[in-house]
Structure 1
Amino acid sequence: MDNPSDDFSGYIMQLPDDCLLFIFQHLDCGSDRESFGLTCRRWLQIQNLNRRSLQFQCSFTMLNFSSLSQTNTRISTLHLYRLLNRFQNLESLSLSGCTELPDSDYGLEALSNSCLALEDLNLSYCSRISDYGVRAISQNCRRLRAIRISYCRNLTGAGFQGCSQTLTHLEADYCRLEPNGIRSILSGGGIEYLSVSNLTWCTRVNGLVVISVGFAAKLRVLNFRSSRTIGDDCIMTIAKGCPSLQEWNLAICHEVKIAGWESIASHCHNLKTLHVNRCRNLCDRGLQALRNGCKRLSILYITRSSQISGVALEIFKLVRGNVEVKEEEVMCICPHGAFRF
């Protein structure tokens, strides 16, 4: 007599792929989902096709550029190509720190052709990629919702021209973005979150004015931290042209002066969070303008400085009791050590 268990296993193996996929999707235990593909190649294929997220071991979330340069972070392009063929329905992919990732062949071009369902992509610190590879991603991955390209020094932003309206979140800190590149980033019309901290190149020619010329109507969060060359003209134009702005980070933006602060106070009616940490040209008059304007402001990040008197700050707190004022401590280095004040 045949072993009943053999008959049962044979019956399972004859199930169509749709049934196996249904079984896999209803496994609640993580270990069961991970071991599902160990049964046979067919079950492994079902598991692979159902995978939605992938992060390489060389990926990281917090690492400064100086420490990156001291590591030997590499990934085989052939390895990447094989993995992309294996996981064809990825929605989230992190390649952050893959410093050898190229644009074409087995790089971003192959990625754009393999992962058409991609929604979230992290390319931070991928120092070899250029606008060519980004163009392939933006043109082929039409479901892309968020992309991170921070510390990719070869990017100007031009590769985003004609990007999908689904693109709402972009982080491009410490990139050499140009005015036309920023215009390309905004060309899809869907950007809600834009982080371009330490942006200095295009601001010298007032290139950030493009943010407010009809392309950024949906912009809610804007990060200019450490963009030391941004001046009042740029601030005034953006304040008038971005009615949906809810959070604006202007920390260490030293060239913002009275006209800039007054424009923010007068035009940013939906602003809820404002970062003015270590802004050298924020004085009592600028703080007074913010106190009288920005009626929906709920959080203010600020640093005490010689330009802002203690009286002006206390009056702000008294008049705007609904605003949470978060004071940042300043670290000073002296021959006898570091101290805060």
Structure 2
Amino acid sequence: MKGQDWINLMLPDELILEIFRNLGSKATRDACALVCRRWLTLERLSRDTIRISGSGSPDSVVNLIASRFVNVTNLYIDERLSGSHPFDSGRRGNVRQSTWLRLRLMAERFESYCLSDAGLAAVADGFTKLEKLTLIWCSNATNAGLTFVAQKCRFLKCLDLQGCYVGDQGLSAIGECCKQLEVLNLRFCEGLTDTGLVDLAIGCKKTLKSLGVAACAKITDVSLEAVGSHCRILETLSLDSEYINNKGVIAVAKGCPLLKNLNLQCIMVTDEALTAVGSLCMLLESLALHSFQRFSDKSLCAIGKGCKKLKSLMLSDCYFLSDKGLKAVAAGCTELSRLEINGCHNISTYGLESVGRSCMHLTELALLYCQKVGDKALSEVGKGCKYLQALHLVDCSVIGDDAICGIAIGCKNLKKLHIRRCYEVGSKGIIAIGDNCKYLTDLSIRFCDRVGDEALVAIGNGCPLLCHLNVSGCHQIGDTGITAIARGCPQLTYLDVSVLQNLRDMTLAEVGEGCPLLKDIVLSHCREITDVGLAHLVKRCKWLESCYMVYCPGVTAAGVATVISTCVNIKKVLIEKSKVSARTRRRAGSAISYHCVDL
């Protein structure tokens, strides 16, 4: 009946709460909260995650939100996020202050605008159901504040401390009180020593599953020995340290039989530790090794021999690894699905060929700065890895069209292809992708000078599901290629055509007509684009959220104003400051970012 509020009359609170919990976006939930007081109250009860800035009087903000959102289980506080700074902006009085007094007042003000122990006490009192707490660069938080949290938030399962100057007492309190803690991340926690981490390992020995330690100079092998002795169910370990040696890693390998994920950037670790991992960690599924210069193929041979369940392997700047080690992994770890090789200069075509022959379940392959890997390697991957869905190539100077054709013919399920600065790749390879890979959704061919319009015509004709396209710096691509994309790829949401000197306004009109779902476009350094083309684009692309158009001489303040006024969802416009009128600045100042041209 007209005028009757059937929703509030008929639906109980529990059902409306469940509806709110299943709403997709924060904006939608905020809109629902404005309908009536009942919906506002219920929407607050449905919130389980809150992100706030660690600056701009965060202590008072925490007090405020704690009284309104009582069911929050995930709290994220980041001092890098922008916050309000209610400094007094009134006219200065005539009282002259000394330099010392002014500096002291500034320091006191700065401290009041950072999360302090009082704010953490408010977190502890207001969010007793908290399960996940993330504190990023909250430099004023100390042991006392973390102890408050430990004593009140007994359901805490995940704690992330990055750049927080908490010490051993706070971490020990977490270990003593939070008996359900499963995940702990410590990064740039300069006040921590082995004492705090040992206490936590003892206190949370029955629940701790994931531990991350990075740039904590006072944490040594002693901590890892305690983890290995007590935390028998540990599954994930991430270490970035100059002070961890073989002893600590071996202790974890011996004491944590359930270890599945290992990420190491430890310059003191050698073959001895990795050999222990290979022989003892039979359940290992993911291994990432960064900047290792003290171990050799012996380590990878041990991994290949013992870690039969390995699915993901990342090797970055490991200079002493060669094809022998990679072949051992390929032969032993046949379940491998993700492989990334970055800057390992002794790995060549032969090593990648062994991967193509043995790892039939490979779904993602990334080769970065691999100067010795040639076409034959990827041709072998194309023959053997039929399930490959993502291929990333960066600065692989020997790889050319034959390799891409091999991938296109063999890996018809390919969804993502990213190529950057591979100057031997040309139109022939990309045409093969368009002819064979019908499920392609993401194509990036940045600074590939030999790719021309005919390649994009093939993509437009053969890849109707394409959502993401980046052809930045491909100088041979012009109106014909981008027009083919506009007419053949209606699902396109991201387009980067920066540095295309021959792109004109009529092409932007085609993009606007054919790609109504477009959200992000990069037009920087397109010298032929003018206000006319922008007007045609934004007329149809109603969902546009970002537009980058620096160094486009044909774009004026009028064109910028057109984008701002037409696109109601616009969030970021990157442009030279001189092209923004005062009216546009007043209308959408928060959405405009200025490119520095005075350097």
TM-score (norm 1): 0.75
The 5 A counterparts of 1:177-196 are 177-186=347-356, 187-196=358-367
Structure 1: give runs of 5+ residues left out of the alignment.
1-26, 59-72, 333-338
Q: How many angstroms apart in 2 are the aligned matches of 1:307 and 1:257?
A: 10
CA distance, structure 2, for counterparts of residue 46 and residue 128 of structure 1: 26
Distance 1:294 1:319, change over 3 A: closer
Q: Which amino acid aligns with 2:376?
A: N
Residue matched to 2:233: 50
Aligned partners of 2:359 and 2:385 also within 8 Å: no
1:198 pairs, out of 340, 361, 369, with: 369
Counterpart residue type for residue 136 of structure 1 = A
Alignment check: 8 A CA contact 2:465 2:491 kept: no
Q: Match of 2:489? A: 320
- Percent identical pairs in the alignment equals 23
How far is the alpha carbon of 1:163 from its aligned partner? Answer: 2.6
Question: How far 1:265 sits from its partner (Å)?
Answer: 1.3
1:168 is matched with 337
Aligned-partner Cα distance in 2 for 1:108–1:315 = 51
> Which aligned pairs between 1:254-265 and structure 2 lie closer than 5 A?
254-265=423-434
Name the CA distance, whole Å, in 2 between partners of 1:172 and 1:36: 35
Tell me the distance in 2 between the aligned counterparts of 1:36 and 1:230.
50
Q: Quick one: distance in 2 between partners of 1:253 and 1:235?
A: 11
Q: Say which is worse superposed, 35-44 or 223-232, in terms of deviation.
A: 35-44
Q: Partners of 1:39 and 1:277 in 2: how far apart? A: 51
Cα contact 2:373–2:398 (8 A) shared by 1: no
Q: Partner letter of residue 367 of structure 2?
A: V
Match of 2:36 in 1: none
Secondary structure of the equivalent of 2:368? coil
Cα distance change of structure 1 residues 40 and 314 upon mapping to structure 2, 3 Å threshold? closer
Residue 272 of structure 1 is aligned with which of 417, 421, 441?
441
Greater RCO, CA 8 A, separation 6+: 1
For the pair shown, the structure with the greater C-alpha radius of gyration is 2
Amino acid at match of 1:32: K
Does residue 110 in structure 1 map to residue 237 in structure 2? no
Structure 2 letter corresponding to 1:248 = L
Q: Could you report, residue by residue, the CA deviation over 1:178-227 in whole angstroms, capped at 9, with x for unpaired residues?
A: 22311333413221111112222121x633321122x2111111111222
2:316 is aligned with 1:145: no
What SS class does the counterpart of residue 144 from structure 1 fall into? coil
Pair 1:121 & 2:268 matched: no
State whether residues 133 and 159 of structure 1, in contact with CA within 8 Å, keep that contact through their aligned partners in structure 2. no
Q: CA deviation at 1:166?
A: 2.5
Give, in angstroms, the shift of residue 309 of structure 1. Answer: 2.0
- 1:36 offset after TM fit, Å? 7.8
Deviation of 1:42 (Å): 10
Give yes or no for contact 1:160–1:184 (8 Å, CA) kept in 2. Answer: no
**Which amino acid in structure 2 is aligned with residue 237 of structure 1?**
G
* 1:5 match: none
| Deviation string, structure 1 residues 119-151 (Cα, Å, up to 9, x no partner) | 122112223333221121122011212121122
5+ residue gaps in structure 2? 1-153, 158-177, 182-198, 208-225, 500-523, 526-549, 553-599
1:316 deviates by 2.7
Task: Say which SS state the counterpart of residue 402 (structure 2) adopts.
Answer: helix
Counterparts of 1:1-341 in structure 2, within 5 Å, are: 28-30=155-157, 31-33=178-180, 38=202, 47-58=230-241, 73-95=242-264, 97-103=265-271, 106-155=272-321, 156=323, 157-176=326-345, 177-186=347-356, 187-203=358-374, 206-213=376-383, 215-310=384-479, 312-327=481-496, 329=498
**Residues in 2 aligned to 1:296 and 1:50: alpha-carbon distance in whole angstroms:** 43
The 3-state SS of whatever aligns with 1:307 is coil
Q: Which SS does the other structure have where 1:250 is aligned? A: strand
Letter in structure 2 aligned against 1:117: L
Render the CA deviation track for 1:273-319: whole Å, top value 9, x for unaligned: 11112211122222222222223322212215431224542453244
Q: Are the equivalent residues in 2 in contact too, given 1:317–1:325 (CA < 8 A)?
A: no
In 2 relative to 1, CA 262–315 (structure 1 residues): closer, same or farther, beyond 3 Å? closer
Give the direction of change, closer, same or farther, for the CA distance of 1:124–1:288 in structure 2 (3 Å limit).
Answer: same
- Report how many residues are paired: 290
Could you say if the C-alpha distance between residues 92 and 305 of structure 1 is closer, same or farther in structure 2, counting changes exceeding 3 Å?
A: closer
Q: Distance in 1 between matches of 2:467 and 2:205?
A: 56
Whether the 8 Å CA contact 1:287–1:312 is kept in 2: the answer is yes
Question: Aligned-residue CA RMSD in angstroms?
Answer: 2.9
Per mean C-alpha deviation after superposition, the further-off stretch among 323-332 and 185-194 is 323-332
Amino acid paired to 2:361: G
Q: Which amino acid aligns with 1:53?
A: T
- Residue 335 of structure 1 is matched in structure 2 by none
CA contact (8 A) 1:163 1:185 kept: no
- Counterpart contact for 1:159–1:181, Cα < 8 Å: no
Secondary structure of 1:170's match?
strand
Query: SS in structure 1 opposite 2:394?
Result: coil
Aligned residue in 1 for 2:112: none
Give the deviation of 1:110 after TM superposition: 0.9
1:217 maps to a residue whose letter is K
Structure 2 residue identity aligned to 1:159: A
Compute the TM-score of the two structures, normalised by the length of structure 2: 0.44
Q: Distance in 2 between matches of 1:246 and 1:322?
A: 14
2:15 alignment counterpart: none
What CA deviation, in whole Å up to 9, does each residue of 1:94-114 have, x standing for no partner? 11x2123222xx321111122
